[in-house]
Structures are given as C-alpha cells and as structure tokens.
C-alpha cells in the first residue's frame, strides 16, 4: 500500500516547517503541535510523521511533552523521531504509544546500534537517511558523514532494516519537487523507501506511487499541506487501490 504521511515538525514546542533544514529559517504553523496532528487525522490521515527538531540538534529528546500530547490525542498510528540516541529512548516512545520510532544520526554513525534496535524491536524501528550533496547528513543536518546515501542504505539493509525515510535536504521545505534521481538510486536494495523533501504537488505524489513496485512505500508531506499546495483529502485518495 502506498501511504501518505502528514508531517508535524516540532521546534521550541511549536509546529513549524524549516526551509532546506535551516533551523534559522522556520515558519511557525501553530503553538500547539497536537492541533495540527488532530487536523490531519480529521482530514483522513491514516499515519502521522512527527519529528522533534530540537532533539535532532541536541542529540536528546527535547520536545517529549509535545510529542506525548500528540500520542495521547490522536488515534491513528504515529512514527516519531528526532534525538533518539539510546535504546531507552526507543522503548519509552513505543511505550508512550508510538507505532514506529525513527533512528537517525546514531544509526548511521554506529550501524551496530541500528542492528541491535532492529533485533529487539523489529519493524517498529525505522531509519532516516538524509542527503545533501551526495553525502548523508547528521545531527539535525548540521554535520556530514563520509558515506553516500546508497552506501548507508545498503549497510542498513544488511542489518535487517526494513524501512527507510529518504530526504533530500536541499529540496526540503522548498515546494520544489522531490529528488527523483537521488531516490531512484536507492530502489531495489532490499528496503522499502518513504520519500520526503520538496513534495509539492499531486503530480509528485503520482510519480512516487508509480515507483511503488520498485519499493517506494509512501511519502511524507510537510509544507505543501500547510500552504494548501496539496489538498490532503485528494492526496489520500492515492492510498486506495
């Protein structure tokens, strides 16, 4: 099934969207992130994507209260990430009601940690691979690993990771369309891919859905549903059939 994941990014306790991952270039869409989550649920979302941006930068869970409110107030499954660096973090978020926990920086820097978490929690743990200039970005996109996205995906697949979120940082928040060439390099490598970054139109979503047979499982939509460039109700029709 091709799935649409409305995004709720949290910074300073607020619901925001960043431009190209720049923590200094934010647009605030509400003081209570749970209201955005409830809105997307009311409009029919079957799964939500929540990220603690401050947590990603600081390497620890910062906006835990805001994430907890979302998990308490919505009934659809939620995947959460940002600042998850320890097994205890994963266990806590799952116990709070998260359906999936997203690993990022530590999973790339220490693949054995990703393997350990997969061994313990299975497909309830997924990994985010964020790319900029042909390299994987780390620590809220402020640092860079010495590996390419393809190398990262192949390594994670060998550890049993079943699902990866792939984001092209240069396109994230720009409404400039997704990175088709970068995405296509990751397909057919033994993992399902959730695409993110720059998705701005129904045509983008249709192109992604056409790649479902090659491993594209869904799309994270952020700025485009907040600005109205994508009507979520129409986007959700792509989940059918």
Q: How many CB atoms lie within 10 A of CB 103?
A: 23
Q: For this structure, is 130 an active site residue?
A: yes
What's the confidence (pLDDT) of residue 25?
A: 67
What's the confidence (pLDDT) of residue 175?
A: 59
How confident is the prediction for the chain on average, in pLDDT?
A: 90
- Given pLDDT bands bounded at 50, 70 and 90, which one contains residue 194? very high
Q: Is the pLDDT of residue 199 over 80?
A: yes
What's the confidence (pLDDT) of residue 102?
A: 97
Annotated active-site residue in 89, 130, 172, 179: 130
Q: Is the pLDDT of residue 16 over 90?
A: no
Domains recognised in the chain with CATH numbers: 3-235 (3.20.20.70)
Q: Which of 185, 142, 139, 143 is nearest to 166 (CA)?
A: 185
Provide the residue count of the chain: 241
Q: Sign of torsion, CA 91 96 99 105?
A: negative
| pTM exceeds cut of 0.85 | yes
What's the confidence (pLDDT) of residue 142?
A: 64
Average pLDDT for residues 24-29, to the nearest whole number?
Answer: 70
Per-position DSSP letters for the chain, written without gaps between them: --EEEEEEEEETTEEEEEETTEEEEEEEEES-HHHHHHHHHHTT-S-EEEEEHHHHHHTS---HHHHHHHHHH--S-EEEESS--SHHHHHHHHHTT-SEEEE-HHHHH-HHHHHHHHHHHGGGEEEEEEEETTEEEETTTTEE-SS-HHHHHHHHHHTT--EEEEEETTTTTTTS---HHHHHTTTTSSSEEEEESS--SHHHHHHHHTTGGGTEEEEEE-HHHHHTSS-HHHHHGGG--
What's the confidence (pLDDT) of residue 103?
A: 96
Q: Dump pLDDT digits (tens) for 41-70.
A: 999 999 999 999 999 889 899 999 999 999
What's the confidence (pLDDT) of residue 106?
A: 92
What's the confidence (pLDDT) of residue 136?
A: 84
- Given pLDDT bands bounded at 50, 70 and 90, which one contains residue 138? confident
What span, in angstroms and rounded, lies between the C-alpha atoms of 196 and 86?
24
What's the confidence (pLDDT) of residue 181?
A: 86
Average pLDDT for residues 187-191, to the nearest whole number?
Answer: 95
More confident residue, 182 or 28: 182
C-alpha radius of gyration, the chain, whole number: 16
Q: Dump pLDDT digits (tens) for 81-132.
A: 999 999 999 999 999 999 999 999 899 889 999 999 999 999 999 999 988 8
More confident residue, 225 or 29: 225
């Amino acid at each position: 099934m091709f799935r649409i994941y409305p995004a709720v990014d949290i910074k300073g306790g607020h619901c925001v969207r960043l431009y190209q991952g720049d923590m200094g270039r934010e647009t605030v869409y509400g003081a209570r992130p749970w209201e955005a989550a409830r809105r997307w649920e009311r409009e029919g979302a079957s799964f939500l994507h929540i990220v603690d941006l401050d947590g990603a930068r600081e390497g620890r869970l910062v906006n835990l209260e805001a994430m907890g409110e979302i998990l308490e107030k919505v009934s659809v499954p939620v995947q959460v990430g940002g600042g998850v660096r320890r097994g205890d973090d994963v266990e806590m978020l799952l116990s709070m009601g998260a359906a999936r926990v997203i690993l990022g920086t530590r999973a790339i820097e220490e693949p054995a940690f990703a393997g350990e978490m997969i061994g313990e929690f299975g497909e309830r743990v997924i990994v985010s691979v964020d790319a900029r200039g042909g390299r994987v970005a780390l620590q809220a996109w402020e640092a860079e690993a010495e590996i390419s996205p393809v190398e990262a995906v192949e390594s994670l697949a060998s550890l049993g990771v079943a699902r990866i979120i792939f984001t092209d940082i240069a396109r994230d928040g720009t409404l400039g369309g997704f990175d088709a060439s970068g995405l296509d390099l990751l397909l057919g490598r033994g993992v399902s891919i959730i695409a993110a970054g720059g998705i701005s139109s129904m045509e983008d979503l249709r192109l992604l859905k056409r790649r479902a047979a090659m491993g594209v499982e869904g799309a994270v939509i952020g700025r485009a549903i907040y600005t109205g460039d994508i009507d979520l109700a129409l986007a959700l029709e792509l989940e059918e059939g």
